[in-house]
Amino acid sequence: MGGSLTRLLSCGPAADASTSLSSEPSSVIAFHTSDLWQRHFDASKQNSKLMVVDFSASWCGPCKFIEPAIQAMAAKFTDVEFIKIDVDELSDVAEEFGVKGMPTFVLLKQGKEVDRVVGANKEELEKKVKKHRGKPIFAA
């Protein structure tokens, strides 16, 4: 099923980009099973911490291009949780969130989507992370 979802999802023209490899441990959490993701997602509903879910694929050029920026944001915004989901591994999760193209970044608070960025636009993503990171979901 992951293959059929992959064919449906287009990440646009391939970008010639290299991902810088760091010796520092990643502060982006990758989930490889739906069960572990679901348990983490359910637990996240109990706090107001912003969660940024990066839906990507190993073959997607723009996803590789923006990877260093995501790592930098995760290091900069330590009060925000950055999650990586490979759409080929967890196609059910990608479908649940209506992912149509990659990369797609879904911003969640208490289990609810508060914003979304489609494409490798690091400036827009950082702007939305700053906007939502300290803001309560039920602001008056």
Q: Which residues carry out catalysis?
A: 60, 63
Distance between CA atoms of 138 and 32, rounded to whole angstroms? 31
Phi, psi of 17 (to 5 degrees): -135, 145
DSSP 99-122: --BSSEEEEEETTEEEEEEESS-H
Under DSSP, the state recorded for 19 is: P
